[in-house]
Amino acid sequence: MAGIASEAIAVGRRQRAPATSRSDGERGDRPAARYIANVTDSAALLTVARDQVLAEGRGLSEQQLAQVLRLPDDDLPALLELAHEVRMRWCGPDIEVEGIVSLKTGGCPEDCHFCSQSGQFTSPVRAVWLNIPELVEAARQTAATGATEFCIVAAVRGPDQRLLSQVRAGIGAIRAEVDIQIACSLGMLTQDQVDQLVEMGVHRYNHNLEAARSYFSQVVTTHSFEERWETCERVRESGMELCCGGLVGMGESLEQRAELATQLTALAPHEVPLNFLNPRPGTPFGDLPVMTSGDALRTVAAFRLAMPRTILRYAGGREITLGELGTRDGLLGGINAVIVGNYLTTLGRDPAEDLALLGELQMPIKELSRTL
């Protein structure tokens, strides 16, 4: 994959997908994405993708994405190279760096089968709250890595007024001492809660779909796919940037993986964090196998070909799924944002290692840009 970095690729300005249920492949009066039924020739499929996504900026259809996810390993280098060209053409060379911290860890009433923070499972994670000084220090350490965004996360179904008051106090304290954009991930929101976060000046809100609609009931039973979708729509319509992604490697089919990418495309988030299952002890998915690096990289490329203009962020599980070499390949295969440091309940890479890799690949870190 190292040869990909040396490509002289034209850089285009990042273009935000409009907040509409229309997919990248169905923008304006353009015809729907060209789909060649039952394409079995890899070169033909990649040629269609190059013409459609790279040249025209129209994302692949669900059927095309399923075909991409089935490409053999021999075609993976060419697929990643195309996804990288698409990222450079429609997003540009900048990498966005983010740090996250859990304001409230553990004790969540929901039963997301992958999550060790659920109070319904026998995982070793227990409920813990950060105080405001600890939150400010975490933001300061995040900013010191070069990150431009700091995300405050809480393991809850949705925030109560006590949590929102603590978030408000934390945002005020961070703003007084640290120059960084602030995002939140606090579960499902009512319209009033969305309005409060907007008033606090929250830059971006994260709420993942987690899984495709057709597979969602195998992952979560305590709330519905529709409830998650409704929160995402409220956030998007409020003017906050919507960060919405999912988790792959949970036993879903390749068709359901393509379905998730297509549903995310329809939701039109500003950013899509891509998580890979890191099986956690005590959870229902604790004994599932780790996704292969080849499948993970095909997923990265497919999501980029579905959403050419969207920020696609490496999130949880990349260390165990991809390792050092796979992380590099993904950065040269469509990824244009990373979470640095540790995750909510699992260890990440040393931020210095990620920053050194970005420097080696000559990928500039996006400058802090106040949009508040």
pLDDT tier at 348 (50, 70, 90 boundaries)?
A: low
Q: Which of 75, 90, 105 is the last residue of a domain?
A: 90
C-alpha 306/C-alpha 310 separation (Å) is 9
C-alpha 23/C-alpha 11 separation (Å) is 23
- Looking at the fold, whether 210 and 240 belong to one and the same domain comes out as yes
- Looking at the fold, whether 241 and 266 belong to one and the same domain comes out as yes
- Looking at the fold, whether 155 and 254 belong to one and the same domain comes out as yes
In the predicted structure, residue 141 carries a pLDDT above the cut 90: no
Higher pLDDT, 302 or 104: 302
- Looking at the fold, whether 35 and 118 belong to one and the same domain comes out as no
In the predicted structure, residue 66 carries a pLDDT above the cut 80: yes
- Looking at the fold, whether 158 and 238 belong to one and the same domain comes out as yes
- With the C-alpha atoms ordered 80, 335, 319, 359, is the resulting torsion angle positive or negative? positive
- Residues 6 or more apart from 182 whose CB is under 8 A from it? 139, 149, 150, 151, 152, 171, 174, 175, 201, 202, 203
What residues make up the domain containing 35?
2-13+22-90
Tokens of 88: 């450079």
| pLDDT, averaged across the chain | 83
In the predicted structure, residue 344 carries a pLDDT above the cut 60: no
Domain of residue 190, CATH code: 3.20.20.70
Beta pairing class for 204-206 and 337-339 = unpaired
In the predicted structure, residue 59 carries a pLDDT above the cut 80: yes
Whole-angstrom CA distances from 22 to 17, 188, 262, 274 are 10, 23, 10, 21
Q: Are 59 and 83 in contact (CB under 8 A)?
A: no
Four-point Cα dihedral 364, 266, 60, 10, nearest 10: -30
In the predicted structure, residue 87 carries a pLDDT above the cut 60: yes
298 DSSP 8-state letter: H
Domain count, the chain: 2
- Looking at the fold, whether 47 and 130 belong to one and the same domain comes out as no
pTM, two decimals, is 0.83
In the predicted structure, residue 194 carries a pLDDT above the cut 70: yes
Among 221, 316, 227, 310, residue whose Cα is nearest residue 262: 310
- Looking at the fold, whether 73 and 108 belong to one and the same domain comes out as no
Q: Are 59 and 310 in contact (CB under 8 A)?
A: no
pLDDT at 335: 97
Domain membership flag for residue 365? no
C-alpha 147/C-alpha 178 separation (Å) is 11
C-alpha 299/C-alpha 343 separation (Å) is 21
The tens digit of pLDDT for each residue in 276-331 reads: 999 988 899 999 999 999 999 999 999 999 999 999 999 888 889 998 888 899 99
